[in-house]
Amino acid sequence: MEDGRSTAYTIPCHDVVQCVEFSPFEWSSQLLAVATSSRISIFTCRFQEEDATVDGVQYARIHDFQSATNTTALAWSPSTSLSVLPKNISFVSAGEDYKLNLFRSDGKDNNTEQTFSGHNDFVNDVIFDPGDGSKFASTSDDLTCRIWSTEGQQLLVFQLTSPGMSVCWHSEEPLKILVGQKNGVIRIFSLTNQQPIMSLSCGQVPLLAADWSRHSSLQVGAIAGTDWLIFDTSVSSQPIEKRQAHIEGTKYFKFARCHQSLLATIGRPGRQVKVFNTRHQQLHVNASLQVAYGLTWHHTLPIIAVGGDKKVHLWVVESA
């Protein structure tokens, strides 16, 4: 089932896609990482919305990284760039073996992989420091959020009161880290004094994903139970808006990077993909997939990508 208000494309893959992630940085926004059971493939993508010479979507796989375990999360480094020499592709992945792997490549023969150990349960999310890319964070079912140096050191460990499902870093708040906990509480920690400085309560469980709006460091969102919720941290620790997303529960939630009023979710029954507009009741995308893992927005275009069965699904969302 799919509505007629959105344009859909697919990128074929060799296996079921476990994670997808567009680079969130302007200088590398054409890059898409796609993880399957045995590899992480890097694609470049161009869309007709940015280049009139392209018919729909134009993509090319530029590099494959071998992976020894299933991937549970991916995050791009801001140091990634194809426009300078030597080219640099850099990202971190979390595996089912509870370890983190930092991959670096020039797209040719110079490839490195660095392993980080410390978590003792599933890692649910990873994120890079949006500044110079010298640090990244991870959060896990082991009730911790950890900050790592790309040189190999574990810098900080924040103790959580419930499994950490999402971790977010905001470019306007580089000394703070946001963690969404499964018990419905979103906590913001200070990297300076290593203490929690704010808690937001969804009032319902389970919280399986949270996000920090790129357009405002005061806007935080999450999915908990069957609903998506929006917080304004300058007003209240309670949500200022709540709307049902999926009647049998939700799994993924992401704010659009290019538009302050759009957000995407995936939930049940089945694997429904929806794009909501917070300004009105219109659904911009309402589709059902057989397989759906991962959810990511393009940096500058109203396009979402979702992992499927031997393909990546892409939707171009009509401008609100």
Show the tokens assigned to 159.
């103790």
Show the tokens assigned to 96.
């089912």
Phi, psi for 133 (deg, rounded to 5): 75, 20
Q: Tokens 């530029």 identify what position?
A: 62
Phi, psi for 27 (deg, rounded to 5): -75, -10
How many CB atoms sit inside 10 A of residue 121's CB? 12
Q: Is residue 191 part of a domain?
A: yes
> What whole-number distance in Å separates Cα of residue 133 and Cα of residue 266?
29
Mean pLDDT score, 282-298: 95
Q: Is residue 230 part of a domain?
A: yes
Q: What's this model's pTM, rounded to 2 decimal places?
A: 0.96
pLDDT band of 108, cuts 50, 70, 90: confident
CATH of residue 47's domain is 2.130.10.10
Q: Distances from the Cα of 45 to the Cαs of 12, 29, 51, 77, 138, in angstroms?
A: 13, 9, 11, 18, 27
Q: Is residue 1 part of a domain?
A: no
User: 80-84, 107-111, 309-313: lowest mean pLDDT where?
Assistant: 107-111
Count of domains forming the chain: 1
Instruction: Please tell me whether residue 191 adopts helix, strand or coil conformation.
Output: coil
The pLDDT of residue 291 is above 80: yes
The pLDDT of residue 3 is above 70: no
The overall average pLDDT reported for the chain is: 95
Question: Under 8 Å CB-to-CB from 46, ≥6 apart: which residues?
Answer: 30, 54, 57, 58, 59
Residue 183 pairs with which residues in a beta bridge?
A: none
Mean pLDDT score, 134-156: 97
DSSP-assigned letters across all residues of 55-88: SSEEEEEEEEEE-SS-EEEEEE-TT-BSSSSS-B
The pLDDT of residue 142 is above 90: yes
* Per-residue pLDDT, 2: 47
* Per-residue pLDDT, 319: 61
Q: Is residue 104 part of a domain?
A: yes
DSSP code of 120?
-
Show the tokens assigned to 277.
């507009």
Structural domain of residue 199, as residue ranges? 7-316
Greatest CA separation for the chain: 52
- Ramachandran region, residue 136 (left: φ > 0; alpha: ψ -120 to 50; beta: rest): beta
| Omega within 30 of 0 (cis) for the link into 78 | no
Show the tokens assigned to 214.
């790129």
The pLDDT of residue 5 is above 60: no
Q: What are 10-67's pLDDT values in tens digits?
A: 999 999 999 999 999 999 999 999 999 999 999 999 999 999 999 999 999 999 999 9
Q: Is residue 2 part of a domain?
A: no
* Whether the Cβ atoms of residue 95 and residue 68 lie closer than 8 Å to each other: yes
Q: Distances from the Cα of 188 to the Cαs of 109, 151, 167, in angstroms?
A: 41, 25, 10
